[in-house]
Structure 1
Amino acid sequence: MGRQNTRPARRRGARFPAVVAGLLAAGLAVTGCGAGSGDSSSDRGFGGGGRTAPAAPDGGRTGTGAPQEGEQRSSPPAPDYLSTFALDVDTASYGYARRTLAEGRLPEPGTVRPEEFVNSFRPDYPRPADNGFSVTLDGARTGQDGWSLVRVGLATRGADRGAERPPAALTFVVDVSGSMDEPGRLDLVKESLGLLADRLREDDSIALVTFSAEAETRLPMTRVGAARGRIHEVVESLGTSSSTNVEAGVRTGYDVAVAGHRAGATNRVVLLSDALANTGATEAETILARIEEERREYGITLFGVGVGSEYGDAFMERLADRGDGQTTYVADSAQARKVFVDQLPTHVELRARDAKAQVAFDRRTVEKFRLVGYENRSVADEDFRDDRVDGGEIGAGHTVTALYAVKTRPGASGPVATATVRWLDPATRAPHERSGTVATGALTAGLWDEGHDSLQLTAISAYFADTLRGGDLPGDPGLRALANHAGAIAGRSGSAVVQELADAVRQAYGLMGPDEGGSEGPSREGELRSGDPYS
């Protein structure tokens, strides 16, 4: 059933750097990571002051208890000891940064979103047995003046192999403008669509719209079972021409998606583009208004797939955000296969709608805290349980990680934080919650001690992103050390994706110089073995 038109817009900050000149007028509005009211601390995004958070047993790590119907909740802490955000599984920022670094350039700081670096890796969190989330909290000391990193890990159950899922109605909106003629753009899109056409079920539906100066419907909404050959023919016939009218493509794509809307199906628009709009309504608000209208009325969400060495990251991210969807980035055939063969099916099989997280810190043990990233996913603390306010859409087998820098009070012991995730059931829209806790007893180990590969990988990706955007995350050991740590994990795990991270950090180190990690270049550690536990 469609969403009600009375639903208010998601209350989030915005961050739209000038990657696409003249495209977006809005600038970065950084919200405090502690959320809610102001902080007396001079550190940007650090919390302070407030009432006591709910208690947790000392040393506690995890929890999955959901509140029972009619259960009375304790009073929450003051806003400056709460952190609230919509869940995010986007990865485009990391993919584009890797592409940029491989070409010998540093990414623009405004295109770097740390949560997308962190969520490009999948820690082995426990999986729930039901359609909700598991909630796992852990952490370790950074070695800097009382600072620790605290990780909040959420995971959904994997895809149900052999079980029925709702059919998918996918409208692909493909950019065929002149800028897509570069190798690694339209050719990669065509390869990706060909892969997907062979993977969809017979009862799924697919439509295809192309756009350059104007938009054209190349295939109306069609059941896959009787049309695989026709789908391949249309995909193979795609060629480039003229300028980039994203507005025409999105408008026509949503027209086709609405006309082919299937009740009870997962209805999604998939935009494949370099997002470099130069004709039509290049002001984002015109396009965003249409996306939000159809999301509310029909529940049609947007999945953005970016390509190209020059890529309108901020624009694509904003489109997907307004469309209650996700973004990713592909630079080669291996990434295309991962997105369209491995990941897109999980976007079709939903586990949660409008998922939000709220982390309550205990002022008795916590002096300051900072959420790493998620600035443009911020939700007002009081809107956490307002189900009219949008959250994130999460599919089967997804993991979501949020990392906090937390400064504990000297000598304090006891509960540190309680994390609660709230979501709506995809079928019934009934709300559910689940919580977990962490206490000082879980923060005794050092971050770089042996046996903490999973947490170290999260920390490496977060510190890496923070460095690229000019941040000052406490405990940052520098790019040289980060590259060595990532190389060591890649050697132990045999993970190709971790080795890619190590290589990207080394490339950044080479471009930024010894001030970002020491006077000597980082060494390459470890030989890769079979298997890839982090992909």
Structure 2
Amino acid sequence: MAGRFLQHLRVAAVATLTLALVAACGADSYDRSDSGKNAAPAGTAYGPPGTPEGLARGAATDEAADRAAAGEVSTSERPVSTFAVDVDTASYGFARRTLLSGQRPAANTVRPEEFVNSFGQQYREPDGNGFSITADGAHLPQTHRGADDSARLLRVGLQTRGESSESRPDAALTFVVDVSGSMAERGKLDLVQHGLNTLIDQLRPSDSVAVVSYSDRASVLRPMTPVRDREALHDAIDRLKIAGSTNLEAGLRLGYDTARNGFRSGATNRVILLSDGLPNVGTTDAAPLVREIQEAAAKQITLLGVGVGSDYGDKFMEQLADKGDGYVVYVSDQAEADRVFVRQLPATVALRALDAKAQVEFDSNTVLSYRLIGYDDRALSSSDFRNDRVDGGEVGPGHSVTALYALHLRPGAQGHLADVRVRWQDPKTREPSELSQPVRVTAVDEEFGQAVAPLRVDYAAAFLAEVLRGSRYGEDVRLNDLRTIARNSGESQQVRDLDDMIGAAIGLYN
């Protein structure tokens, strides 16, 4: 067909949108009490040891007060940490593109948990649906400023079972594509079209797709259409043209209307927004759109954001996806898509868990204090954990979720360290399930250099994020040390990418 892109140009880009179809799969460093739900977020990293004994007694020393204000939590006062699971990775991808272009990413776009969750973790998969739980850890490295012998790093990992593309449920997908003037930049609409065209060729004939475009106004280029009619879908994608301003509100509203009209019972129904997230016409505040997305999500239509471009509205896209029972990924170029996503094929559009939440209850007899690194926007009260009306995160087949905690142990600590819990709802029946696993002190006794490679990579990625977002705890590490840790943690392409990022950061921050 005239105007069709050559097939070989599409091969790398398929991974971009196919990952975008993988169903997925913050917070303060502590679990807020019910009365403190609206408190300002605490700090999210790990600082010098200070005076743990004074902190445990609630002593009003300046140093203890500083540490408490920064977010390190005494287990004597608040032993439970609860947060909504999050599988977003856009922050890492956008920061990588920005650094490699010779610029500093904006601090408010850097989220440590998304850096960590961008890396493979090698967790075991569960036998059935739901999650497996992995908990391990180590001493902090000797290069970490102020870390005494009581300091530890705890890695809590959740993993879902993978699924082949043949066994997944059918999908009803509504692509909402930004064709405004800002999408003319190379690596925006061209990348979207390559990926969509190739993806159409990968979907099953029994799947269905609709295509909506928006600029000043929105229009349906193709209503919900069985993928067996591939030529009609390719034609709709090829007709995407740059024009006008960015009325994201109009595009998303029409996209959800189209998804509702084409809703398929028993299938995975999803709206996929492909945009640079920079609305300038209509509603430019995410709040009213979030309310509509929440209503649609209750009808089992989930949202996925695919962000593109060097000029990118990170916060807007994140808010939309978080409130739409979805997640957001960021893609910078076809080479990155090929490296990062092809190995995850065959991708699926199925879900493993809705409204997933994690909870870690520390034993105050062995743990003096703790800090959750990242998840700033995902904090929940302890009572929210079993309140199934409270939103959690969406996780798809073969996805992993990782949370890093920095700890102080009590002198002579041994035995029970913590209990890890995860709770989620079945995507079909909405029935809740819960799993728990105890953790012993011996799980965090490994010397850092002997810890498993993924944990060392996680540390390097998380504290790179602390440096990039200007956290006071970024001062506890040196970028050169983080780069050495990354280089000594494997030779995968993911690790080489992290090495390159830290190298670029060295030139910009040192």
TM-score category, normalised to shorter length? 0.7 to 0.9
Unaligned runs of at least 5 residues, structure 2: 1-25, 29-37, 46-54, 59-63
Equivalent-residue separation in structure 2 for 1:327 and 1:251 (angstroms): 18
Q: Deviations over 1:301-323 (max 9, x none)?
A: 11000001010000000000110
Q: State whether residues 46 and 369 of structure 1, in contact with CA within 8 Å, keep that contact through their aligned partners in structure 2.
A: yes
Q: Deviations over 1:21-47 (max 9, x none)?
A: xxxxxx99415779xxx9955322211
Match of 1:304 in 2: 305
Match of 1:81 in 2: 79
2:502 to 505, 511, 520: 505
Equivalent-residue separation in structure 2 for 1:307 and 1:270 (angstroms): 13
Residue 354 of structure 1 aligns to which amino acid in structure 2?
Answer: D
2:211 paired with 1:208: yes
Q: State whether residues 306 and 330 of structure 1, in contact with CA within 8 Å, keep that contact through their aligned partners in structure 2.
A: yes
2:63 paired with 1:46: no
Equivalent-residue separation in structure 2 for 1:29 and 1:176 (angstroms): 37
Equivalent-residue separation in structure 1 for 2:304 and 2:136 (angstroms): 31
2:233 paired with 1:231: yes
1:325, distance to aligned residue in structure 2 (A): 0.3
Q: Deviations over 1:392-434 (max 9, x none)?
A: 1111000100000111112222221211001112222222111
Residue 410 of structure 2 aligns to which amino acid in structure 1?
Answer: R
TM-score (norm 2): 0.84
1:199, distance to aligned residue in structure 2 (A): 1.3
Match of 1:123 in 2: 121
Structure-2 change in CA distance of 1:194 and 1:335 (3 Å): farther
Equivalent-residue separation in structure 2 for 1:241 and 1:315 (angstroms): 22
Match of 1:483 in 2: 483
Equivalent-residue separation in structure 1 for 2:163 and 2:339 (angstroms): 15
Equivalent-residue separation in structure 2 for 1:383 and 1:177 (angstroms): 40
2:163 to 159, 166, 181: 159
Q: State whether residues 192 and 340 of structure 1, in contact with CA within 8 Å, keep that contact through their aligned partners in structure 2.
A: no
* 1:191-270 correspondence to structure 2 within 5 Å: 191-225=194-228, 227-270=229-272
Q: Deviations over 1:86-124 (max 9, x none)?
A: 111100000000010011111111100111000001110
Query: In angstroms, what is the RMSD of aligned CA positions?
Result: 2.3
1:342, distance to aligned residue in structure 2 (A): 6.6
Residue 86 of structure 1 aligns to which amino acid in structure 2?
Answer: A
| 3-state SS of paired residue (1:348) | coil
Equivalent-residue separation in structure 2 for 1:337 and 1:214 (angstroms): 33
Structure-2 change in CA distance of 1:404 and 1:13 (3 Å): closer
Residue 105 of structure 2 aligns to which amino acid in structure 1?
Answer: P
Q: State whether residues 196 and 341 of structure 1, in contact with CA within 8 Å, keep that contact through their aligned partners in structure 2.
A: no
Q: Deviations over 1:123-159 (max 9, x none)?
A: 1001111001110100000141221110001101111
| 3-state SS of paired residue (1:375) | coil
1:162, distance to aligned residue in structure 2 (A): 3.8
Q: State whether residues 13 and 29 of structure 1, in contact with CA within 8 Å, keep that contact through their aligned partners in structure 2.
A: no
Residue 237 of structure 1 aligns to which amino acid in structure 2?
Answer: R
Q: State whether residues 416 and 441 of structure 2, in contact with CA within 8 Å, keep that contact through their aligned partners in structure 1.
A: yes
Match of 2:96 in 1: 98
Q: State whether residues 92 and 306 of structure 1, in contact with CA within 8 Å, keep that contact through their aligned partners in structure 2.
A: yes
Q: Deviations over 1:203-233 (max 9, x none)?
A: 11100111111111111011111x1111112
Equivalent-residue separation in structure 1 for 2:116 and 2:409 (angstroms): 23
Q: Which one has a larger percent helix, Structure 1 or Structure 2?
A: 2
Using the aligned pairs only, state the percent identity. Answer: 50
1:282 to 259, 271, 284: 284
Q: State whether residues 272 and 306 of structure 2, in contact with CA within 8 Å, keep that contact through their aligned partners in structure 1.
A: yes
Match of 2:52 in 1: none
1:13, distance to aligned residue in structure 2 (A): 6.8
1:374, distance to aligned residue in structure 2 (A): 0.5
Match of 2:457 in 1: 457
Structure-2 change in CA distance of 1:395 and 1:331 (3 Å): same
Q: State whether residues 106 and 511 of structure 1, in contact with CA within 8 Å, keep that contact through their aligned partners in structure 2.
A: yes
> Alignment length, in residue pairs?
452
2:30 paired with 1:30: no
Equivalent-residue separation in structure 2 for 1:210 and 1:400 (angstroms): 33
1:452, distance to aligned residue in structure 2 (A): 2.5
1:438, distance to aligned residue in structure 2 (A): 2.2
